[in-house]
């Protein structure tokens, strides 16, 4: 009991002023967010580098709201991610991300402010920290390296901290947290000069879309921030109390998202190509991805997918060229490094395989990269190195862990 008391603390929630259990202190909270921000961005699509101005704009709006929050001194950061899934998330410590797939659904800056204000409250009120303490984080499903519609397929391959970050980003908040985030988010909007009615409208739109079960929304925003008629009612009541009216910024929002809307057909073609590839129709998928590349030749993601399609079609040289291109356009992105590394291993280019897989692991450690680094080491007759890599992969689960354990047993026999 004494031991329990030693490790159990109580603290006042900085947003609501209520007493709550506090097992994870503020320095730990901030460290977690800071460490997991970059890997979590990458597992959720990576940065939308095509339009850096857009991230500056989102940051500007986010900072306006953060200044009005109950924890203005958190090290807030805002980024736009390269994902069509309409979603937004917040890691502890104010590390926030919004997907381009959500930005295309919004009409003005006040609506954007309502999304960001809501996420700021999740971070400021320590919602995900509370859920972690209660052991309520979802177990992100098993993975494969098949074609899939979302980046979530990576979740089951992630190791260590990167997997915690993904769980935090994909965790479903309870209705209580959602109502709290709406409530204080609306107050922050009002303080920052935005029309809080925009938050009510947005919830109405989301509720309608969720009732229509719009594809994409189901595994995006609705899964993590479930809409409800109660949210619409409560928000509407609050706005009546504090008074609507204020800045909307429809023209500014249209101008700032002009590039995004212009290149949108390219991402639609990419998403169709992904769907066709996952259904096994590689010829049709190739046509679609070529269309995407024609519209937006600067997008690394398109070459990564085309490389995988070429691989399926046994066009090895072309696949290699495309993976190289994806890596050269976005060298930090772990996913492109993995594709490039696995491809190089298949071609027995060991040094290239090792470099790419190791660099992928530097940013986002995955079981598949550890396993294949072990294979590279075996081919290079580096027994100790192979054992170290296989041991690491064996800590994961599923087929990859099994293969690693088998190879480990063969080496240590
Ligand atoms: Zn939420």
The mean pLDDT value for 89-98 works out to 94
Encode pLDDT of 168-222 as tens digits: 777 778 888 889 999 999 999 999 999 999 999 988 888 887 777 665 665 677 7
Rounded to 10 deg, the angle between the 175-191 and 52-68 helix axes is: 90
Q: What is the pLDDT of residue 110?
A: 98
Query: In whole angstroms, how large is the CA radius of gyration of the chain?
Result: 23
CA 50 / ligand 1 centre spacing (Å): 27
Span between the terminal Cα atoms of the chain, in Å: 46
Ion ligand 1 — residues with CB < 5 Å: 173, 178, 181, 225
CA 53 / ligand 1 centre spacing (Å): 26
Given a contact cutoff of 8 angstroms between Cβ atoms, the answer to whether 140 and 170 are in contact is yes
Encode pLDDT of 6-29 as tens digits: 445 677 888 888 887 777 788 888
If you search the block for the tokens 């320095």, which residue do you land on? 27
Res. 155: pLDDT tops 80? no
The mean pLDDT value for 38-59 works out to 94
CA 217 / ligand 1 centre spacing (Å): 14
The chain-wide mean pLDDT, for the chain, equals 88
Determine the 3-state secondary structure of 77 from DSSP: strand
CA 89 / ligand 1 centre spacing (Å): 8
Instruction: Give me the percent of the chain exceeding a pLDDT of 70.
Output: 90
Distance CA 248, CA 233 (A): 21
**Domain 265-412, CATH:** 1.25.40.10
The mean pLDDT value for 133-143 works out to 54
CA 266 / ligand 1 centre spacing (Å): 29
Distance CA 258, CA 38 (A): 26
CA 209 / ligand 1 centre spacing (Å): 16
CA 127 / ligand 1 centre spacing (Å): 9
Could you tell me the two tokens for 102? 């959500």
CA 219 / ligand 1 centre spacing (Å): 14
8-state DSSP, 261: H
Q: Given the DSSP bridges, would you call strands 95-99 and 19-22 parallel, antiparallel or unpaired?
A: unpaired
CA 23 / ligand 1 centre spacing (Å): 22
- In our burial notation (b when 16+ CB lie closer than 10 A, e otherwise), range 374-401 reads bbbbbeeeeeebbbebbebbbebeeebb
Instruction: Give me the percent of the chain exceeding a pLDDT of 90.
Output: 67
pLDDT band at residue 5 using 50, 70 and 90 as cut-offs: very low
Backbone dihedral region for residue 26 (phi beyond 0: left; psi -120 to 50: alpha; all else: beta): alpha
Distance CA 169, CA 39 (A): 11
The mean pLDDT value for 37-56 works out to 94
CA 250 / ligand 1 centre spacing (Å): 24
pLDDT band at residue 111 using 50, 70 and 90 as cut-offs: very high
Provide the whole-model pTM: 0.90
Q: Could you tell me the CA-to-CA distances from 31 to 60, 79, 81, 137, 283 in Å, in that order?
A: 24, 18, 22, 19, 47
8-state DSSP, 364: S
CA 249 / ligand 1 centre spacing (Å): 23
Determine the 3-state secondary structure of 137 from DSSP: coil
Residue 251, Cβ density class (10 Å: 0-12 exposed, 13-18 middle, ≥19 buried): exposed
**Residue ranges of the domains in the chain?**
2-254, 265-412
Encode pLDDT of 221-231 as tens digits: 777 788 888 99
Q: What is the pLDDT of residue 72?
A: 95
């Amino acid at each position: 009991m004494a031991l329990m008391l030693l490790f159990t603390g109580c603290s006042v929630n900085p947003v609501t002023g209520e007493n709550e259990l506090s097992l994870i202190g503020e320095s730990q909270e901030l460290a977690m967010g800071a460490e997991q921000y970059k890997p979590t961005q990458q597992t959720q699509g990576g940065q939308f580098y095509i339009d850096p101005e857009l991230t500056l704009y989102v940051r500007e709006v986010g900072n306006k709201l953060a200044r009005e929050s109950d924890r203005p001194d958190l090290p807030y950061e805002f980024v736009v991610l390269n994902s069509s899934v309409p979603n937004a998330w917040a890691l502890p410590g104010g590390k926030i991300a919004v997907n381009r797939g959500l930005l295309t659904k919004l009409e003005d800056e006040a609506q954007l402010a309502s999304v960001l204000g809501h996420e700021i409250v999740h971070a400021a009120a320590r919602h995900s920290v509370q859920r972690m303490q209660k052991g309520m984080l979802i177990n992100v499903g098993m993975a494969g390296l098949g074609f899939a519609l979302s980046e979530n397929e990576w979740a089951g391959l992630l190791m260590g901290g990167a997997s915690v970050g993904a769980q935090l980003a994909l965790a479903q908040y309870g209705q209580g947290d959602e109502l709290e985030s709406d409530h204080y988010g609306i107050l922050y909007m009002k303080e920052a000069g935005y029309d809080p009615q925009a938050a009510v409208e947005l919830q109405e739109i989301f509720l309608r879309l969720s009732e229509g079960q719009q594809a994409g929304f189901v595994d995006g925003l609705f899964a993590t921030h479930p809409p409800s008629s109660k949210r619409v009612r409560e928000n509407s009541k609050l706005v009546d109390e504090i008074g609507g009216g204020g800045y909307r910024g429809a023209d500014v929002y249209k101008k700032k998202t002009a590039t995004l809307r212009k290149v949108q057909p390219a991402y639609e073609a990419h998403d169709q190509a992904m769907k066709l590839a996952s259904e096994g129709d590689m010829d049709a998928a190739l046509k679609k991805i070529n269309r995407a590349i024609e519209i937006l030749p600067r997008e690394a993601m398109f070459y990564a997918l085309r490389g995988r399609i070429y691989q399926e079609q046994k066009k090895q040289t072309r696949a290699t060229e495309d993976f190289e291109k994806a890596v050269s356009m976005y060298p930090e992105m772990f996913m492109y490094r993995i594709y490039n590394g696995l491809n190089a291993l298949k071609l027995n280019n060991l040094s290239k395989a090792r470099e790419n897989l190791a660099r992928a692991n530097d940013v986002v450690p995955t079981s598949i990269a550890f396993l294949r680094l072990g294979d590279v080491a075996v081919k290079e007759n580096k027994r100790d190195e192979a054992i170290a890599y296989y041991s690491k992969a064996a800590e994961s689960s599923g087929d990859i862990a099994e293969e690693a354990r088998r190879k480990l047993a063969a080496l240590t026999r």
